[in-house]
Amino acid sequence: MLINFQLIINHTKLLMRGKNKYIPILLTLVFLLAGCSTQKNTLITRTYHNITAKYNILFNGDVSFNKGMRKIDDSFRDDYSEILPVFTYSDEELAKTISPDMDRTIKKGTKLVSLHSITVKPKLKSNKALTPKKRAFYNKKEFNRWVDDNYLLVGKSHFYKHDFNLALETFRFITNEFKNEEITYDALIWIARTYNETEAYKDSEEILTQLEKDEKLPKRLIVDFHTTFADLFLKQNNITNAITHLEKAKEKVKKKKLKTRFIFILAQLYESEGMQNKASKLYSKVIKMNPPYEMTFNAKINRALAYEKGYGSVREIEKQLSRMLKDDKNSEYQDQIYYALGNLAYKDDDIPKAIKQYKKSVQYNINNTTQKARSYLTLADIYYEMPEYVNAQAYYDSAVTLISIDYQDYDIIYAKSKSLTSLVKEINTVNFQDSVRRLAKLPNDELLSFIDKLIEDVKKKEQEEIKRRQEQALNRQFGLDMEMERKATEGGFTEGVQWYFYNQTARSLGYKEFKLKWGNRELADNWRRANKNVISFGESLSTEDTDFITDEESQSSKLLSNKTREFYLKDVPLTDSMVDVSLKLTENALYNMGLIYKNELKDYEKAIESFKELIKRYPDSEFLLPSYYYLYDIYIKENNKAMVESYKNRIVSRFPNSTYAKLLTNPNYIKELEAEQNKVHDYYIETYNKYLGRQYNNVIQQADYAIKTYPDDELIPQFAYLRALSTGRTSDVKTFKEELYEILSTYPQTEVAENAKNIIAYLDKEHPDIKEEEEKEIAIALYEHLENTEHLFALVLNKGINANQLMFNIINFNLDNFDKLNLKVESTELNNDQDIITVISLKDKAESLNYYNRISSDDSIFKDVDKEGVVKMVISRNNLDILKTDKSVNRYLKFFNEYYE
């Protein structure tokens, strides 16, 4: 056995200080312990292995474990826009960074068990009955007092690595092997935490509920117990129960850092539950505890956000936030401060001021996309409630580009954005078409003068934008120069001149400069353009932009320059037909606006406004009847009986035979309609049963009757299919296939069409002769037989065959045999699998066949070329154009064999 003599000597030296009388004893122990073994269970062996396990291996494992914990503590960054987590170990990336430290701890733990675990029973000195205490000791499975602590440390190391299965296995081992030890309580709490991380919430709650009833739960674990329970409830969004356990943890925890964190989380939870006054007090308490600046800052911000009218002074909070704006430490956080000021104004019912502050929050945002999205959404919600849908759409659209699909209420936000985008498109259509029709009514000189004024405004704005960007660039450069000068003064560039990417200081400044100018941009083509899919010809382009516009875009911009009259005149309806198109676009847009307001936004007032405007402008509109009915339906919802009756009468009087009128005047209309549909269904069942009974002629007759009598019924494709199947039973294959093709063309997007396609494929396989005959008939119908017209010789070859060599050989053949005809040889792609070489041109069919026969008898054209996969033919110029469209060589060959062979 290996003895760590140096360790024993070190501990001996410690004990020797001031206690020289123990030296002989300790020296004796050194020699006695040399014979220690884990296979012996004596006081001496237990003492030795306990000391060595604790002060050597377990100590080193603890050091490595704590090193990993410090990394988490130093690296974890709280997202204060969300409720903070109770624990900071859920981050997957952090788990990877501490993995080497945890691996070292696990390795040490394995070593401790292998070298110092004592599982053999101690020898009994006599046959006397053991006392309960001695019996309990004798019945233990492990006699090294540090092995169970070691297993717990190993389990925690697996846990922090996110190896949750191994962690669970280790903690369960502890509960099984050390049942009567206090450490089982530690293991149970860690099992519950593991279940929390793996979303096995029911299992976790079961363990924690049992522990809550256990009076023997050690006091040292009370905080761990309650925080684990709070974490469980937070993960399930059970705020009330989370608060209960976090409050208990807060009262018992001793460490100031943890207590501050718990109070901050409690403040967030109370705020989320609408208890603003309680939240505000807790945020104030956090501030007084003097935590790190980021938490202090967010506590101040959140206290402002939690402001409740009637509690505290809004002016005092505003003053504090305004002072924070002036503090240099908060330069990167001004967006959050303005957002808090916006909240104060909003809760004080000053909506215009709130909007102004929220817009400043967006304006002063540097790179905090979470806060920017939050500001966009708040502005969007305000405008939506007003309602000002055009502004709301712009802000929802901006927010959607910043949030991910797992963002809270993402589906609702996305649906609003989509609906509002559709609405704004229709609103813009109405406004634009109304405007251009007004312009069309102006005298020509006034119209051109108006357009010239627009062009001057565009040029002026463009120059202002160029000037603004130049000033911005100068300001950025000035700031960069000042920063560089400061860094140089402080010794930041003592390394001498370096390439930019090796100079960390320059890179840091460059990064800040880039973020200030461009914000967050993905590494991608055309990275400067935030929206790479859209070029707006109405936007001005400064010289700073022109370096990343493609030639195609540049050409389009020149064609549609917004500084020419043509750019504006192209949309002005100056003819009757253009006016009609404009009016139709407006009519459609008004109707669509009404539908969106009614069905998607549930804004019945705006829906009424849109439908009535449509009726007023277009009294003979194709949308008149549905508009009447939607107005009728809206007034029912609003319980406006007079208007309900008014629109009912309009529908019945003007459209008496419509479905809407029948619905309104006949209480039994739906039942009658259902009865009629059932009648068709019953008739289909009857027809189907006759098919099963092989009464095929009757099936054909009944299917014909149904198709004629109920043409719009959804079962008509099934009737047609039964008819086709019955035809197949009573006629030849060709007629059967014709029926199936009729189904494909008449009902292409139905289930029966797919069935028909499968049957055709089967018939083609089983009856290739019929397929051949059909292909021949199609070819003869497709191609035209003309003898006295220009012809070409053609070779169709599979891709991969050396076309260049084949063309060279043909050219040589022509020079030797048809030099006077001045023939040309060309090659082009026929389809995805084949190319075609053509010899141009032969004056008629006779000459082409002569050429065909001569070249077919000369194998020299296939010199150095694989002739397999090459097809020879002659073809007229017109038929070649058809072949290039049809692309089926086999089909043309059937025509060729019929008329040329």
Residue of higher predicted confidence among 108 and 791: 791
Q: What is the pLDDT of residue 162?
A: 93
The answer on pLDDT for 187 being more than 50 is yes
- 838 DSSP 8-state letter: E
Q: Which residue has the tokens 């140096």?
A: 6
Q: What is the pLDDT of residue 180?
A: 81
Residue of higher predicted confidence among 711 and 121: 711
Q: How do residues 24-59 score in pLDDT, each as one tens digit? A: 554 445 444 444 566 777 777 778 878 877 788 788
The answer on pLDDT for 558 being more than 50 is no
Q: How do residues 648-687 score in pLDDT, each as one tens digit? A: 999 999 999 998 999 898 888 888 778 877 888 999 999 9
Sheet hosting strand 834-842, strand order edge to edge: 824-829, 834-842, 791-798, 870-876
Residue 860 parent element (H or E): none
CA 611 to chain centre: 37
Residue 23 parent element (H or E): helix 23-33
With contact defined as beta carbons under 8 Å apart, do 705 and 699 qualify?
no
d(CA 901, CA 896): 7
Tokens standing for 412?
């609702």
Q: What is the pLDDT of residue 362?
A: 93
The answer on pLDDT for 780 being more than 50 is yes
CA distances in angstroms from 592 to 443, 606, 847, listed in the order given: 33, 12, 65
DSSP 444-496: HHHHHHHHHHHHHHHHHHHHHHHHHHHHHHHHHHHHHHHHHHHHHHTTTTTT-
Q: How do residues 515-526 score in pLDDT, each as one tens digit? A: 444 555 555 444
Residue of higher predicted confidence among 769 and 680: 680
With contact defined as beta carbons under 8 Å apart, do 401 and 395 qualify?
no
Least confident of 55-64, 287-296, 359-368: 55-64
d(CA 549, CA 792): 46
Query: Which range scores top for mean pLDDT: 487-491, 513-517, 747-751, 872-876?
Result: 872-876
CA 664 to chain centre: 46
Model confidence band, residue 193 (pLDDT cutoffs 50, 70, 90): very high
Please calculate the CA angle 138-140-144 and round it to the nearest 5 degrees: 105
- 89 DSSP 8-state letter: -
Model confidence band, residue 11 (pLDDT cutoffs 50, 70, 90): very low
CA distances in angstroms from 354 to 389, 454, 560, listed in the order given: 18, 34, 40
**Helix spans in 596-730 (H):** 604-617, 624-637, 641-654, 659-665, 669-692, 696-709, 716-730
Q: Which residue has the tokens 């530690």?
A: 186
The answer on pLDDT for 535 being more than 60 is no
d(CA 56, CA 694): 92
The answer on pLDDT for 497 being more than 70 is no
Phi, psi of 829 (to 5 degrees): -80, 135
d(CA 791, CA 841): 6
Q: What is the pLDDT of residue 18?
A: 46
Residue of higher predicted confidence among 484 and 3: 484
Model confidence band, residue 61 (pLDDT cutoffs 50, 70, 90): confident
Radius of gyration of the chain (CA): 43
Pick left, alpha or beta for residue 602 (phi over 0 → left; psi -120 to 50 → alpha; otherwise beta): left
Mean pLDDT for 780-800 is 92
Contacts for 187 with CB less than 8 Å, ≥ 6 apart: 152, 155, 171, 172, 174, 175, 178
DSSP 561-599: -TTSHHHHHTTS--SHHHHHHHHHHHHHHHHHHHHIIII
Tokens standing for 204?
């976790």
Q: How do residues 208-258 score in pLDDT, each as one tens digit? A: 999 999 999 999 999 999 999 999 999 999 999 999 999 999 999 999 999
Query: Which range scores top for mean pLDDT: 484-493, 527-536, 674-683?
Result: 674-683
Q: Which residue has the tokens 């191994």?
A: 166
Tokens standing for 92?
């997957």
Q: How do residues 428-455 score in pLDDT, each as one tens digit? A: 999 999 999 999 999 999 999 999 999 9
Q: In residues, how long is the chain?
A: 901
What pairs with residue 870 in β-bridges? 797
d(CA 636, CA 598): 13
Q: What is the pLDDT of residue 481?
A: 60
d(CA 57, CA 151): 13
The answer on pLDDT for 346 being more than 70 is yes
Q: What is the pLDDT of residue 651?
A: 95
CA distances in angstroms from 193 to 162, 181, 205, 231, 262, listed in the order given: 12, 20, 10, 8, 17
d(CA 276, CA 800): 76
Model confidence band, residue 555 (pLDDT cutoffs 50, 70, 90): very low
With contact defined as beta carbons under 8 Å apart, do 168 and 191 qualify?
yes
Tokens standing for 226?
């309650």
Q: What's the chain's average pLDDT?
A: 84
Q: Which residue has the tokens 């009218």?
A: 309
Q: Is the peptide bond before 37 cis (omega within 30 degrees of 0)?
A: no
* Closest by Cα among 840, 834, 749 to 793: 840
The answer on pLDDT for 140 being more than 80 is no
* Closest by Cα among 253, 333, 262, 349 to 300: 333
Q: Is the peptide bond before 731 cis (omega within 30 degrees of 0)?
A: no
Least confident of 60-64, 138-142, 659-663, 728-732: 138-142
Provide, rounded to the nearest whole percent, the portion of the chain with pLDDT above 90. Answer: 54
Q: What is the pLDDT of residue 557?
A: 41
Mean pLDDT for 616-643 is 95
Contacts for 41 with CB less than 8 Å, ≥ 6 apart: 118, 120, 121, 122, 123, 143
With contact defined as beta carbons under 8 Å apart, do 58 and 73 qualify?
no
- 821 DSSP 8-state letter: G
